[in-house]
Amino acid sequence: MSEQLAPAVVIPAAAARGRLVLEARSLGKDFKLSHGWHQDVLSAVRGVSFGLHQSAVVALVGESGSGKSTVARMLAGQEKPTAGEIALDGEIVQPWTHRQFRPYKSNVQMVFQDPFASLNAVHKVRYTLARPVRLHQHLRDRKAVEAELVRLVERVRLTPAEQFLARYPHELSGGQRQRVAIARALAAQPRVLLADEPVSMLDVSIRLEVLDLLDELRTQFQLAILYVTHDIASARYFADDTLVMYAGEIVERGPSEDVTQQPAHPYTQLLVASAPDPENLAEKIRPAVSGEVRRAGSALSTTSGCRFAPRCPLAEDRCRAQAPPLLAVSAQRAAACWRLDVAAPDLLHQTQGEKEEAIKT
Amino acid sequence: MSAVSTAASESMPSAETAQQKPVLEVRDLSVVYDGETKAVDHVDIALAPGETLGLAGESGSGKSTLALGLCRLLRPPAVITSGSVIYRGSRVAPGGVDLLDLRSRELRKLRWREISIVFQSAMNALNPVLRIRDQLGDVLDAHLRLSRKEKRDRLDTLLDLVGIPRERLRSYPHELSGGMRQRVMIAMALAVDPEVVIMDEPTTALDVVVQREILAQIVELQDRLHFAVLFITHDLSLLLEIADRIAVMYAGKLVEVGSAEQIHNRPAHPYTQGLLGSFPSVHGARRELAGIPGTPPDLRSLPAGCPFVPRCNHATDKCRDIDMSMNPVTGSSDPRHLSACPFVTFDLAKANTPKVRAAASQGTS
């Protein structure tokens, strides 16, 4: 059954929103670990490919250590990939090189997780924002800079702007700080925004407003957004496409609603099943089905086979021997699993049906 | 079965919760920082034996201060200015003692033995230079007189209890994953068989899958050992699943208390209603997320009356005069469903659903 699946060429849902801007092509990152004499290589990221499209949000979902932040850091030019390449508007770029760094940053900006750490505590908001405005917008005139600062701060809904510009980070709440961080990213007038867990440090009641703001900016500036998160529920609401990472690899990708509502890969299924489900109060949390001790997936480069296999209830010999590539589940979806026929039989039947219909018509 | 669980089942009655006197009762507790910031403001909560009470609130709502306050673990500048904390342990004080009246020596005997805490970040709560064995052993030494062999058995049992291989006793904290460290913290909290366990955001730093496993473990242990849990978190969706009853705090005050079912299906306070409309769920149909406008309040300058007024869609001038006392919800059949808002009820809210902003994205579906 699974042999019939072709290696994946998927059309992301994000492609319908706009032109391809930034592209990761088989990105990989190895870290060398040394234990005395012995040296191991940890492939934190392996063979990650995806595109960011104008006016579209792509979510990168995974647990801590899955490599999702490393991918974002490579795309931001802060980390040099050990494999693969990055393409901006179809041209291969090397943002980690001194020469290309700044022009690249004019296009690609990042928002970090912790607004308490990402803003310099000894400078006022005005200083934090004025630097990128001068550097990237090449404004020299003080009045023009000031006008731009006011515009930026108002754009992230911090009013009155003059008051906020004169404040230090410690005088702001977490939500306001994250807005300043977003304004700083916008100051470069980028086309791509990499948001690494932009709301996970914020209070529940404010998260929605910040995501809402990002969504507004997406439309207004036709931003291509990469939304890195551990919260698959927020990916469902916020992102066009969702990529699920496990131990450095993309294990499933597709339109967010499909991936979250009908997960194909056993790991995505576990992730979705683990999310709190307040709609289903009768079914309280029960002890784990199996008593066996779960082992975390190893990302050592010497590990053979599927990295999820040690935790996977469906794993068989083939899974432990040979790593599955991303296989097309439908035109828009793919999953890296040898046992999709067991893991998601309904999905495959649907796909099969669609294909047959396509042949008939 | 294990030493821990047999000891527990002897000393504890069944987990029948409803009609029993609460094992822990907080009455009118107030905590003030620097003489002016009211972090906890006249709060009453009661924890029945074997029950899981969820305490929900955002950062700055006073939920952690409340937890530390009721164990008297607060440091200056925090001062408890009013109230009492009655503990009725079946072993030591069936008639009840006020923890706030105890001298520190008496209190030390109760801490951990009767009321233990799982702190927020397991990463920092363990001593990095001591092996797990020594840290767990310290707890046993401090409260029980055990022979060497008994102690060793007890340590093994404890690790079995939380599903960590026994050889990990020799490990240092940094050699364990975050989930394992959190399990060690739970084992430590259960080490001397307390009747009340306070869990302050025990799973916040963990991945959802690990979080799920640990919650399942807590539920299972509770079934076996019958301790009561005060579960503190900002994540209301989590509480709805694991708590029997839920107390919602805002700006140092309680705003609503009810069963998980009531809080979910018939939330009476506008803040609770707002919270419920703030988090996306991966399950069920897509719903519109309303959110809560504005920002959490500054405790140093709270408005008169209800502190939620600036963010509330139903607010009127009358709201500035209310005293935030908790009263049974109008129209609710359960007198234990309490709300601090005398104006808004579930039905009113339904007729006039606050629509703050549209949901974040239209998505692709």
Q: What is the DSSP string of B81-124?
A: EEEEEEE--TTT-TT-EETTTS-HHHHHHHBTTTEEEE-S-HHH
The SS3 of residue A193 is: strand
The predicted model gives B47-66 an average pLDDT of 90
Buried b (16+ CB within 10 A) or exposed e, A213-224: bbbbbbeebbbb
The predicted model gives B88-110 an average pLDDT of 87
Query: pLDDT (tens digit, 9 = 90+) per residue, A15-52?
Result: 888 899 999 999 999 988 776 777 778 888 999 999 99
Euclidean distance between CA atoms B354 and B365, whole angstroms:
25
Q: Which residues of B touch A63 (CB under 8 A)?
A: 207-210
The predicted model gives B61-88 an average pLDDT of 89
Euclidean distance between CA atoms A30 and B106, whole angstroms:
56
pLDDT for B348: 56
String of DSSP letters for B165-224: -GGGGG--GGGS-HHHHHHHHHHHHHTT--SEEEEESTTTTS-HHHHHHHHHHHHHHHHH
Strands A224-229 and A192-196, sheet pairing: parallel
pLDDT exceeds cutoff 80 at B196: yes
pLDDT for B182: 85
Higher pLDDT: B363 or B258? It is: B258
Higher pLDDT: B301 or B153? It is: B153
Let me know: does B136 contact B158? Beta carbons within 8 Å. Answer: yes
Higher pLDDT: B206 or A18? It is: A18
Domain coordinates in residue numbering, chain B? 3-249, 251-351
Asked if A237 lies within 8 A of B165 by C-beta distance, the reply is no
Backbone angles phi, psi at B47, to 5 degrees: -120, 115
Which of A296-305, B13-22, B124-133, B204-213 holds the top average pLDDT?
Answer: B124-133
Euclidean distance between CA atoms A178 and A116, whole angstroms:
8
CATH fold for domain B3-249: Rossmann fold (3.40.50)
String of DSSP letters for A60-102: EE--TTSSHHHHHHHHTTSS--SEEEEEETTEEE-TTSHHHHH
Closest CA to A212 of B275, B286, B292, B237: B292
The predicted model gives B202-230 an average pLDDT of 85
Euclidean distance between CA atoms A242 and A59, whole angstroms:
5
Q: Which residues of B touch A291 (CB under 8 A)?
A: 163
Taking only residues 182 to 221 of chain B, the set having a beta carbon closer than 8 angstroms to any beta carbon of chain A reads 207-213, 215-217, 219-220
pLDDT for A166: 93
Partner residue facing B291 (CB), from A205, A215, A286:
A205
pLDDT exceeds cutoff 50 at B94: yes
Strands A83-88 and A57-61, sheet pairing: unpaired
Q: How confident is the model at residue B231 (pLDDT cuts 50, 70, 90)?
A: very high
Let me know: does B236 contact B276? Beta carbons within 8 Å. Answer: yes
Partner residue facing B59 (CB), from A203, A239, A285:
A203
The predicted model gives B68-78 an average pLDDT of 86
pLDDT for A8: 64
Backbone angles phi, psi at B229, to 5 degrees: -120, 130
pLDDT exceeds cutoff 60 at B361: no
The interface predicted TM-score of the complex, written ipTM, equals 0.78
Taking only residues 258 to 297 of chain B, the set having a beta carbon closer than 8 angstroms to any beta carbon of chain A reads 260-261, 264, 274-275, 278-284, 286, 289, 291-293, 295-296
Euclidean distance between CA atoms B340 and B270, whole angstroms:
10
Q: Is A116 exposed, middle or buried (0-12, 13-18, 19+ CB in 10 A)?
A: middle
For the record, the structure tokens of A102 come out as: 């700044």
Taking only residues 35 to 74 of chain B, the set having a beta carbon closer than 8 angstroms to any beta carbon of chain A reads 58-59
Query: pLDDT (tens digit, 9 = 90+) per residue, A116-153?
Result: 888 999 999 999 999 999 999 998 889 999 999 999 99
Closest CA to A274 of B280, B284, B235, B212: B212
Asked if B260 lies within 8 A of A232 by C-beta distance, the reply is no
One digit per residue, the tens of pLDDT, for chain A of length 361 reads 444 455 567 788 888 888 999 999 999 999 887 767 777 788 889 999 999 999 999 999 998 778 899 999 999 999 999 999 999 999 999 999 999 999 999 999 999 988 888 899 999 999 999 999 999 999 888 999 999 999 999 999 898 889 999 999 998 888 899 999 999 999 999 999 999 999 888 888 888 889 999 999 999 999 999 999 989 999 999 999 999 999 899 999 999 999 999 999 999 999 998 888 776 655 555 544 433 444 445 566 667 889 888 888 898 999 989 999 999 888 899 999 999 988 888 887 776 666 666 565 5
The predicted model gives B305-311 an average pLDDT of 90
Q: How far apart are the first and last CA of chain B?
A: 52
CATH fold for domain A2-121+191-275+296-360: Rossmann fold (3.40.50)
Taking only residues 232 to 261 of chain B, the set having a beta carbon closer than 8 angstroms to any beta carbon of chain A reads 234-238, 240-242, 260-261
Tokens 């779960």 found at: A294
Domain coordinates in residue numbering, chain A? 2-121+191-275+296-360
For the record, the structure tokens of A181 come out as: 């961080």
